[in-house]
A and B are shown apart, each in its own frame.
Chain A
Amino acid sequence: MKRLFAPPYVVWLTIFVVLPLLLIGYYSITAIDAAGNTYFTLRHFRLFFEGTEPGQPFFSRLYVNVAIRSLRLALLTTVITFVLGYPVAYIMAGKGFSDKSVLLFLFIAPMWMNFLVRTYAWLAILSRHGILNTFLTWLGLPILDILFRDAAVLLGMVYNFLPFMVLPIYTALKKMDPKVIEAAQDLGANSPNVFFRVVFPLSMPGVISGITMVFMPAAATFIIPNLLGGGQYFLLGNLVEQQFLRVGNWNFGSAIAVIMIMMMLVSTVFLSRFNKEEVREGGARI
C-alpha cells in the first residue's frame, strides 16, 4: 500500500522542489563570459559579502547591511507576535473562557482573504487623510502620521503573522493533559510555578513551530514592508526581485537565494535542537 502511494509524491517533489533547487544552485555558482561560455565561479558569493566597495567594515557593506536589516525586522516581528500571541493562546485554551470558538474564528477569518488585499487596506486606514486620522480628528485628537514609517511596517508585519504564532501555541496548550497541572498543584506549586515549570515547557513545541512559521517567512518577505514602508525598506527579497526582474542577473539573484536558504537551514537546525532539549528538561523537572 505504501509503495503504491509514494511515486506521485516522488514525481511531484522532484519536479517542483528538487529540480528548481538544483537549478538555483547551478545558477549561483556559474557565470557567462564575454564569449558566451558558461564557467564555474564563486564570485557572486564574494560580491554579496564584499559589497560594491570592499574597503568598508563588514557590517556596513551594502548587501550584508541589507541582510542584517531583513533579519532584524524578522526578529522584531517574531518577538512582538510572541509577546502578543502567547497570552491570547493561553486565554483561548483555558477553562474559564467559554467563547473560544468565536475568538478562534476571529483569528482565522481574516486569513480567508489574500494578505495583499489586507495590506492595501492598511494603506487606506493609515494614510494622512485616511480612516484612522479622520476618526482621530473627529475626536479632536492630533493626527497619527505613521504611514511609510517603521511603525506602519511593524504593524503590517505583526498583523499578518500573528495568527501563525497564536494557532500552533493554542494547539499545543489545548492538547496538554490537565492532570499534569493538577498534579503540580497537588504537589504544592503556586500559580507562577505551575506556569513557568510545567505549562510553558510543555507548550514549547507549539512555541517553536510558531517561531518557525513567523520568523522564516518574515525574513523572506518584501511586499509588506515595500507597501507600508513606501519603498524605503530594501530587504533581501527586494534584492532578489531586482536582480531577476530589473537587472537580469540571474546568477547573482540565485546566489542571494542560496544564501537565504542557508540562513533558513541554520535557524531550523538551531530551533529543532532547542526544542528537543527544552522538552527533555521540562519533563525531567516534573
Chain B
Amino acid sequence: MRRAIRFFVVLLGLFLLAGCLGDEPSAIGPAEAETEDAPQLASSINVFNWGEFIDPAVLGIFRQETGINVIYSMYASNEEMYQRIRAGGADFDVLFPSDYMIERMINQGMLAQLNWENIPNAEHIDDRFWYMPFDPDNQYSVPYMWGTFGIMYNTTMVNEPVYSWDILWNPAFANQIFMYDASRDTMGAALRRLGFSLNTTDINEINAARDSLITQRPLVRAFLGDQIKDLMINRDGALGTVFSGDAVWARQDNPELNFIVPVEGTQIFLDSMVIPSTSIRQYEAEMFINFMTRPDIAYMNTRYVMYSTTNATTFEMLPDYMRDCEIYWPPYEVFYRLEAFADLGDFKEQFERAWTEVLAAN
C-alpha cells in the first residue's frame, strides 16, 4: 500500500509538471504573435448565446469573410450562462445576456470595455437603445434584440376577450394553460397582476404572488420553456405565457394563435452582446459583434428568430407585415406598461425560494 501511495504521489507530480510545461509555450505563443504581427487573427472564437437566437447561416458567412471559425454554444437562462462564466474554466469571447444580468456582470467586473473604433456598425443601432440604465455610459454592451413577455392564446379555443393576466386564473381553461418555467418571469407576471413591481424587494408582495400562483396550480397543464410554442402550434393548449418573438414565430405555423401584452403590464427585455473580461481574443470578438450589427446580417437574424431588432437600418428593410405587426413592434402606448428587470443581488434567493414553494406545492 505504501508503495502504491508513493507511486501515486510521483505520478501526480509528473502530471503537474507536464501541466506547467505544456502551458507555458502556448501562453507565450499568442502573446508574441499579437505584439509582433497585428493582423495575425485567432483561428476561432467561442460564442455563447441563447438557444434559437441566431440564423445559423450567418456563422458561415462570418467564416467566409474573416477566416475565423465560430464555436457556438447555447444556454437556456441568464443564470445558467452567469454560473458557467463565474465558475471559471469557460473560455467564451462573446455573450448575449439580458439587461439585469449585464448590470450584475458589470458590477462584478466580469465584462470588458469595448473599443468602439472596432465596432463602426454600432451607428445603425436605434438611439432609444443606448444609455440604458444597466450600462449608462455605453461602455460594455451593444444592443442585439428585444421583446416583451405576455400571453399567447389560440383564438379558436378562447372565446373570451384576452387582455389581462386574470385569464390565466380562469377555471374555464383548466388544464389548457402553459406557464413559463422560470422563477423571475412567472413570478413577475403574478406580481404585475397584483399591481406590484417586477423588481419588488418586499417579502409580503413576493409571498402574495407565490400564493396566487399556488391557487393557480390546479389549472396549469405544465411548466415548460421553449416547448410551449411547439405544443400550442399543435393545439395542445389554449393559453400560454411566451416571449413576443416566439409568438411571431409560432403564428407562422399556426395563424390561429395571437399574443397580447396584458393591461397590468409586463416585462420588456433587451439582450445585448458583451465580451467577458476573461476573453483573450477581444479584437476578434469585436469583429464578430460588428458583423452581427451590420444591417444585412441583423436582417437575417431578426427574420429568422422573429424577435424585434434594435437596428434602425434593418427595421427600414423589413417587409410591411412585420413592421405593422403589433407583436413584433408594439404601438407606442404599450411601452408605458413595460418594466425591465433590475439586478436584485442576493435578494434573488427570495424569488427562488418562493418559486420552489410554488412548484413543490402539491
Interface residues of A (CB under 8 A from B): 3, 6-7, 10-11, 14, 52, 62, 65-66, 69, 127-129, 145, 148, 229-232, 234, 238-239, 242, 244-249
Contact = CB atoms under 8 A, between A and B. Distances in A.
A145 B7 CA distance: 61
A148 B221 contact: yes
A230 B236 contact: no
B64 interface: no
A129 B352 contact: no
Interface stretch (B75-83, B117-125, B327-335): B75-83
| Residue of A3, A6, A52, A232 with most chain B CB atoms under a 10 A cut-off | A232
Interface string B158-184: 000000000000000001000001010
Interface stretch (B16-24, B92-100, B277-285, B354-362): B354-362
A148 B181 CA distance: 14
Contact of A62 (B181, B349, B360): B360
Contacts of B183: 246
A129 B236 contact: yes
| Residue of A66, A127, A246, A248 with most chain B CB atoms under a 10 A cut-off | A246
Contacts of A148: 221-222
Contact of A52 (B12, B79, B86, B357): B357
A70 B18 CA distance: 44
A245 B357 CA distance: 18
Contacts of A248: 79, 82-83, 86
A163 to B, nearest CB: 28
Given A232-B222, A234-B360, A239-B356, 15 more contacts: A3-B3, A6-B4, A7-B8, A11-B11, A11-B12, A52-B357, A62-B360, A129-B234, A129-B236, A231-B224, A231-B359, A247-B348, A247-B352, A248-B79, A248-B83
Contacts of A247: 79, 348-349, 352
Instruction: Across the A-B interface, give the 6 residue pairs with the lowest CB-CB distance, nearest first.
Output: A230-B222, A231-B223, A234-B359, A148-B222, A246-B79, A7-B7
B120 to A, nearest CB: 37
Contacts of B275: none
Interface of B: 3-5, 7-8, 11-12, 77, 79-80, 82-83, 86, 175, 181, 183, 217, 220-224, 231, 234-236, 348-349, 352-353, 356-357, 359-360, 362
B353 A52 contact: yes
Nearest to A244: B83
Given A7-B7, A7-B11, A127-B231, A232 B220 contact: yes
A210 B98 CA distance: 47
Given A6-B4, A10-B4, A11-B11, A246 B222 contact: no
B268 to A, nearest CB: 22
A17 to B, nearest CB: 14
A245 B86 CA distance: 11
A64 to B, nearest CB: 10
B236 A62 contact: no
Given A62-B356, A65-B360, A127-B231, A232 B223 contact: yes
B235 A129 contact: yes
B83 A10 contact: no
Given A10-B8, A232-B222, A232-B223, A249 B349 contact: yes
Contacts of A14: 8
Contacts of B356: 62, 66, 234, 239, 242
Contact of B77 (A3, A11, A246): A246
A230 B224 contact: yes
A14 to B, nearest CB: 7
A216 to B, nearest CB: 22
B362 A232 contact: yes
A150 to B, nearest CB: 10
A110 to B, nearest CB: 23
Contact of B236 (A6, A128, A229): A128
Contacts of B359: 231-232, 234, 238
A5 to B, nearest CB: 11
A62 B354 CA distance: 10
Nearest to A51: B357
Contacts of A129: 234-236
Contacts of B234: 127-129
Nearest to B86: A248
Given A127-B234, A248-B83, A11 B222 contact: no
A56 to B, nearest CB: 11
Given A3-B4, A129-B234, A245 B79 contact: yes
Nearest to B357: A62
A156 to B, nearest CB: 14
A121 to B, nearest CB: 15
Contacts of B220: 232
A148 B4 CA distance: 53
Contacts of A52: 353, 357
A245 B349 contact: no
A231 B183 CA distance: 12
